[in-house]
């Protein structure tokens, strides 16, 4: 979640400086074994955030399963309010993906010579979901960051 918030804050600063006209839509992905933020988004919690700074928390995941993508698990979201505001303010969304989808995305990236950790491959799986669901179009520019190395996470 920290990367999403940093992207949001960075683009907000670019917009305030007049370097970009509008914010990009920010989308997030979590593994379906414990997609806390995704469930909060789908239930409409982003529309229920108090505007006055009243404490607001995303309920924690009750049943945490194992996943390849531990880095985006989000069992307990310390910054859940900020994440929901980021998605809401950029007209973004959340999707959840299976470990099978993450593994498939990881293999695809490795075959292309991009040796990333499985958490990063969750972005590929999420992007596929966003394309297939019509949330974003392949005709529109998009991007995301990768992390990790083959030495640690290779197939």
| Distance (Å) of CA 62 to CA 10, 33, 36, 58, 122 | 33, 10, 9, 12, 22
Structure tokens that stand for 2 in this block: 């920290």
At residue 96, the 3 state secondary structure works out as: strand
Residue 58 pLDDT class (50, 70, 90 cuts): low
Determine whether 47 is exposed, middle or buried from the number of CB atoms within 10 Å of its CB (0-12, 13-18, 19+).
exposed
| Dist. CA 153–CA 78, nearest whole Å | 27
pLDDT of residue 55: 60
pLDDT of residue 154: 46
Residue 10 pLDDT class (50, 70, 90 cuts): very high
**pLDDT tens sequence across 84-143:** 888 889 999 889 899 999 999 989 888 888 888 888 888 889 988 998 888 888 777 777
28 pLDDT more than 50: yes
Share of the chain above pLDDT 70, in %: 77
Mean pLDDT of the chain: 80
Query: pTM, whole model, 2 decimals?
Result: 0.79
């Amino acid at each position: 979640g920290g990367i999403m918030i940093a992207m949001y804050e960075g683009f907000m600063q670019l917009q305030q400086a007049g370097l970009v006209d509008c914010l990009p839509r920010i989308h997030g992905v979590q593994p379906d074994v414990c997609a806390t933020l995704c469930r909060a988004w789908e239930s409409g919690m982003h529309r229920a955030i108090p505007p006055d700074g009243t404490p607001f928390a995303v309920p924690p995941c009750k049943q945490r399963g194992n996943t390849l993508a531990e880095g985006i698990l989000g069992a307990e979201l310390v910054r859940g309010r900020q994440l929901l505001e980021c998605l809401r303010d950029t007209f973004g969304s959340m999707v959840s993906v299976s470990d099978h989808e993450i593994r498939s995305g990881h293999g695809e990236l490795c075959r292309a010579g991009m040796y990333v950790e499985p958490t990063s491959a969750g972005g590929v799986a999420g992007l596929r979901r966003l394309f297939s669901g019509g949330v974003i179009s392949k005709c529109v520019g998009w991007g995301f960051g990768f992390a990790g190395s083959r030495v640690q996470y290779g197939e």
